[in-house]
Structures are given as structure tokens and as C-alpha cells.
Amino acid sequence: MNRSLVLAWRNIWRNKRRTLISAASVAFAVLFSVSVSSLQKGGWDRMLDNVVRFYFGYAQVHAAGYSEEQTIDRSMAMDADRMREWEGALGGRQVVPRLESFALASTGPATVGVLLSGIDPEREDAFTGLAARVVKGAYLQPDEQGLLVSAGIATDLGVGVGDTVILLSQGYQSATADGKYAVTGIVSFGSPDLNKLMVFLPLAEAQYFFGAEGRATSFVLDLEGQDEVPGALAAMRGLLDPEVHEVLGWEELIPDLVQARAFDEAGSVIVLIILYLIIAFGLFGTVLMMTKEREYEFGVLIAIGMRRGQLTGILWAEVLFLSLMGALAGMAMALPVVAWFQVNPIVFTGEMADVYEKFGVEPVMPTVVDARIFLVQGATIFLLAAAMAVYPWLRIRSLSPVTAMRH
Amino acid sequence: MSMIVTTDLSRTYNPDTIPVHALRGVTLTIGSGEFTAIVGPSGSGKTTLLNLIGGLDTPSGGRVLVGGTDMSRLSGNALIDFRKNHIGFVFQSYNLIPVLTAYENAEFVMLLQGRPEKERRERVRALLAAVGLEAHMDRRPSQLSGGQQQRVAVARALAPRPDFILADEPTANLDSHSAENLLDMMARLNGEEGTTFLFSTHDQRVIDRARRVITLVDGEVAEDVRR
């Protein structure tokens, strides 16, 4: 190994206790920040997964302007040939049609607002696994008139399987839409928001209910993950006239959630910045001592022929070794913690769970093992170490060997 | 051949407040291969003169020529590189790097010079053998006595084959046995390698061994005796 690096490595062990304390402070900061970041990312990923993968999809096609004004009048004609053409452009990925609008659901004594979604039961199940979410009763059949109600709505209305629910809404082109349907099944979602919102009818029945035969408000592109979104958006935008259709990615479909995540993450970043500032001051104290107590030695080294840049490099390597040692230890401690809670997420119960659900958040906090979180900590520590090296550089730059050796 | 020439060399500390004239117009010529002691009472300017000759300090007046190079024209890395390639230093407090072994300390300046490993190995082993430390080359300074550390310091100074060695009170912290050993060794290396030695010292043993003794008093050359 390069002799300067050997020298730097040995130098940091001159004062073992100080080195271990400094490295430990970095290690615990990294442990904390990796754990918090992983928990936060895990929670948001799960929420987005619930909302995106189990309902909105990673991309949708609408009639132009639907996202601005989500009414059934901005629905578009369904055409089986066109859907096949789109699926071809998506490399065989399925297109899932929906006809959606808000409605009132009533049992007489109780009435709630719902999002009524007309779905193709087979395609919807293939996309969201909706059939597996049926907790009571049976899943929808394409040609039946049954109603699938989410668990929260069922509770609010006080209905069970076999009970009747009256739906009332405004249909296509201001027609009155009303109907009476038997509940065939109850579904439960991970997302409390969806649990208190969704009611499903088979697509044909929903088209009849809204007076919008042969129409759909949205076509969900059944993509495997975020990585496929840019390609799918480009393919569909290349195929469709933007004057007639809009093609939106998941971030445009749920901007509120995206902004909420960004806001939450910004808050955490501030907390982590404060944490790292505290660590930086601790590290700086160590660097200050490492520099001040060895000025005599620096004077000798410059006298016998070591360039100031080489000397600064050694000091920088010392700070870097010390910081990275702490960072690696922190990561090593964080990895099993994060991996454990990824497999065994924290599940809140009781009042805490109620608080989470009140804010539309599933009361489950999983972590996620994401290499990027670890890399960001490593990069942060590297930058901190680089910043710390400014002080020895300034000292060494102006160091007079005679003055240094006089003390 | 003249190795070191100082011309009307002066150094004044605190010129704007309470001036202290450490050196006043010192003019000297040190030849190649000399074994010279600079003596004088404390505060007479011995260390200041060595610092100026070694390029560690800047003169207030006059100049220093080392091997024909005007030291005042060098600065920054050029000055450091000049010291590295032409001057060896031996300090009163040994000043070895505590985390390096005796071998690594002796090799250090050659490493800075970028000399090949084979050359470094042969040179350092030969020098450590010459100073009687071949059995201790893997020891760190804290595992060596003061005399042994000073011998490593001499090996470090000699390893890169400098034009001359500046030794500031090299025996001041040594017992008489170690001091005698060190002086024997330096005298032998002076004879064998022709390296010029310039000491500042109070030590009569060093003065007795020197072939030339320059006495400074109040920053001026009071006496210059060749033997």
C-alpha cells in the first residue's frame, strides 16, 4: 500500500480512544439516518404501492382534459381493436378499462359518497388481484349485476353480502343514474383511503347505470414497475393524438401523494442535516486536535522535504479513514436492523392505528433495504470528511517549520 | 570547492516592534566534506544560522548560496524539494515519525524523492548497519533509546545522499556513551561518504571532534578556527 496511506492509517491509531469515540459517533449517526430513511422510504413505497399498484396503475390513458375535470362526460369510446393496438405498442402489457364517477350509496338510513368504478372483472383481477381482496362473499362476474363494496363503505352503510344498496349519480351527458344492487362481495384494501371510497360494478353494468354504453373514463396500463413507465409513456404518446387523449404517469395521476412524500422527505432531510452537523462538529474537534497537537511534527516533515500538499493529503486520508470506518460500522449495524423490519414490519395497533388510518395511511411501517440509502450516507460522510480537511489544509499552508518546531 | 556561502547574512526578529538582531552580517564559506561546529553561548545565533542555511527561515539581509543556488530565490515546493534533495537535517529531539519503524524512518526522505525500492532497501540497510541498528530496524522510535533514535535520525538524513547535513545540537539529549558513539559514526560517515557536516553545539565533545570551529557571539562571527 502507498506509504502515505500507511502513515495515515497508523496515525489515526495513535490515540485509539479518541479514534474509536469519533468513529462511533459517525457510526451511530449513520445507523440512525439509514434506519430512519429506510423506514420512511419503506412506508411511502408501501403506500404508493397500495395506491398505484392496487388502483391507479403506473400510467393511464384518458380523454384529453379528464385529469383536469374528472367527469363522466370526459369519457371516451371503448374499442376492442384499439385496445389490442395499444397492448401491441406496450409489448403485450394489458390495458385495463374503467368507467368511474362519484355516486351516492344508500341503504335508506345511511348514505355515503363513493367512487363507483365499472371494471372488467378479469382484467382488473389480473392487474390488481382484486379477487384475492374479497374478504366476504364472491368476486364480480362480467355479466352479473352484483356490487362489490369496500370494507369501510360496508361498515359505514351497515351492509353485508346479499344486502341491497341504492346508487345515485349523474350519468353521461347529465342523464340521471340510479340503480339498486345486491352486494355480492366485500373487499378490503391496505390503503384506508381506498377502503372508505371504492364500490365496483362490472363494466357493462356500470356503462348501463351511467348511460354511457361502450365508453370508459380511463385505461390503466398494466406495467410491472416504475422502470417501465418512461417507455410506456413514450410508446402511447407516439401512438395517440394529444388533442384527443392524455397519457399520464403515476406521478401526474397522484400529485398530492407525490407532494406529500416530497414534503415528508424534506422534513427528514432537515433532521438528518442537523444530525450530521452535530456529528461534523464532533469530527471537527477531533481534526482540530489531530492538527494542533502535531504541528511540531508537521514542521519537521516540511523541513525534511515533504510538500505541504502531501502532508495535507495524509491528514485528509486520516479524516477519511476515521469517517469511513464509522460509516461502514454504521452501515453494518443498520443492515440487519433494516433487513429485519423489511421482513417483519412494525404494525401499529389500537389508538396509534386509528391515528394512522385517520390520515389515510396504512398502520404498517416496513423498512426497505435500498443500496441508494446506504450510498447516500457514504457520500455524505465522504463530503463531511472532505470539508473537515479544509482546516488542516489552511493550517499547513501557512505553517512555518521554524515556528512549528520552536513550540 | 565551496558548498555553502553566506554573504553579509542577517536576521532580525520583530523589526517593527522590539527588534532582536539574531544575526548581523555573517559571511562564511563552508567547503565540501568539512566537519564544522558552530559554537557560541545561547542566543548567539547558531540555530538561526542553521535555519537560514537550511532554507527553513528567510534572511532579513544578505544571502545564502548552497552549491551555487541562491536560497532566497526559492520558495514553496521548489524550496522544499531543494531541501529534500540537497540537505539532511538532524535535530536535537531526533524528530522521528513515531508511527514508522526505524527502517521506514530512515527510508522516508528517499521515498519522498521517489527513489526505486531496490535502491532504497540497499541504502537504508547499509546505513542502519553502519549506525549499528540492523537488529532494530523493525522497531518504532518509542522502542529505541535516545541514542538509537538519534542514530536513526542520522541515517534518515544521510539516506538520500544530501550535499550536506545540518545538525542542531545533535548530542544535547544523549548520555556521554551515546554521544561518543554518534560522533564516531558521523565522523566515519564524513570520511567514508565525504558528506559535509555542519553542527551547532554547546557540547565540548563535538567541538573537540570538529575540524573547524566557528564561534558566534551576539550574531556575529567572533572566531573561525581550522584544525
Mean pLDDT of A176-188: 94
Q: Which of A248, A210, A241, A257 is nearest to A67 (CA)?
A: A248
pLDDT averaged over every residue in chain A = 90
Judged by CB atoms closer than 8 Å, whether chains meet at A305 and B81 is answered as: yes
pLDDT in the model for residue A202: 96
pLDDT over 70 at A45, yes or no: yes
* Pair A35, A93 in one domain: no
CATH of the domain at B101: 3.40.50.300
Judged by CB atoms closer than 8 Å, whether chains meet at B104 and A3 is answered as: yes
In Å, how far is B225's CA from the nearest CA of chain A? 29
Element holding A391 (H helix, E strand): helix A390-397
Residue A314: give the domain boundaries. Answer: 3-51+257-406
State which of A222, A245, A268 marks the end of a domain: A222
Instruction: Tell me the pLDDT band of A359, cut-offs 50, 70 and 90.
Output: low
The residue with greater pLDDT, A80 or A191, is: A80
pLDDT tens per residue, range A230-249: 999 999 999 899 999 999 99
pLDDT in the model for residue A128: 86
pLDDT in the model for residue A361: 64
**Any alpha helices (H) in A131-170, and if so which ranges?**
151-157
* Pair A328, A362 in one domain: yes
In a domain, A232, yes or no: no
pLDDT over 90 at B141, yes or no: yes
| Percent of chain A surpassing pLDDT 70 | 98
- Using an 8 Å CB-CB cutoff, list residues of chain B that contact chain A: 51, 54, 56-57, 77, 80-81, 83-85, 89, 91, 95, 97-100, 104, 108-109, 111-113, 156-157
pLDDT in the model for residue A371: 92
* Pair A180, A136 in one domain: yes
Mean pLDDT of B46-74: 91
In a domain, A241, yes or no: no
Instruction: Tell me the pLDDT band of B1, cut-offs 50, 70 and 90.
Output: low
pLDDT over 90 at A158, yes or no: yes
pLDDT tens per residue, range A65-76: 998 898 999 999
Mean pLDDT of A292-301: 92
Residue B159 sits at φ, ψ, to 5 deg, of -50, -45
**Cβ atoms of B175 and B149 closer than 8 Å:** no
pLDDT over 60 at B226, yes or no: yes
Q: Which candidate from B80, B95, B99 shows the least CB-CB separation from A305?
A: B80
* Pair A271, A401 in one domain: yes
**Cβ atoms of B54 and A303 closer than 8 Å:** yes
**Cβ atoms of A223 and A87 closer than 8 Å:** no
Mean pLDDT of A23-48: 89
In chain B, how many domains are there? Answer: 1
Would you call A302 an interface residue with chain B, using a CB distance cutoff of 8 Å? yes
pLDDT tens per residue, range A120-153: 999 999 988 899 999 999 999 988 889 999 999 9
In chain A, how many domains are there? Answer: 2
Judged by CB atoms closer than 8 Å, whether chains meet at B109 and A305 is answered as: yes
Which of A44-58, A143-157, B83-97 shows the lowest mean pLDDT across its residues? A44-58
Beta bridge partners of A167: A105, A179
Beta strands in A64-142 (DSSP E): 76-77, 95-106, 111-119, 134-137
Q: Which of B220, B217, B221, B197 is nearest to B209 (CA)?
A: B197
Residue length of chain A: 407
Instruction: Compute the distance between CA of residue B74 and CA of residue B54 in angstroms, rounded to an integer.
Output: 12
* Pair A105, A210 in one domain: yes
Q: Which candidate from A14, A304, A309 shows the least CB-CB separation from B89?
A: A304
**Cβ atoms of B175 and B185 closer than 8 Å:** no
* Pair A44, A74 in one domain: no
* Pair A40, A64 in one domain: no
Instruction: Tell me the pLDDT band of A1, cut-offs 50, 70 and 90.
Output: low
Q: Which of A150, A151, A155, A201 is nearest to A178 (CA)?
A: A201
pLDDT tens per residue, range B10-46: 999 988 888 889 999 999 999 999 999 999 998 899 9
**Any alpha helices (H) in chain B, and if so which ranges?**
46-53, 76-86, 102-113, 117-130, 146-158, 176-193, 204-209
* Pair A77, A124 in one domain: yes
Instruction: Compute the distance between CA of residue A6 and CA of residue B100 in angstroms, rounded to an integer.
Output: 9
At A280, list the grid cell: 461534523
* Pair A214, A339 in one domain: no
Residue B126: give the domain boundaries. Answer: 2-226
Instruction: Compute the distance between CA of residue A190 and CA of residue A198 in angstroms, rounded to an integer.
Output: 13
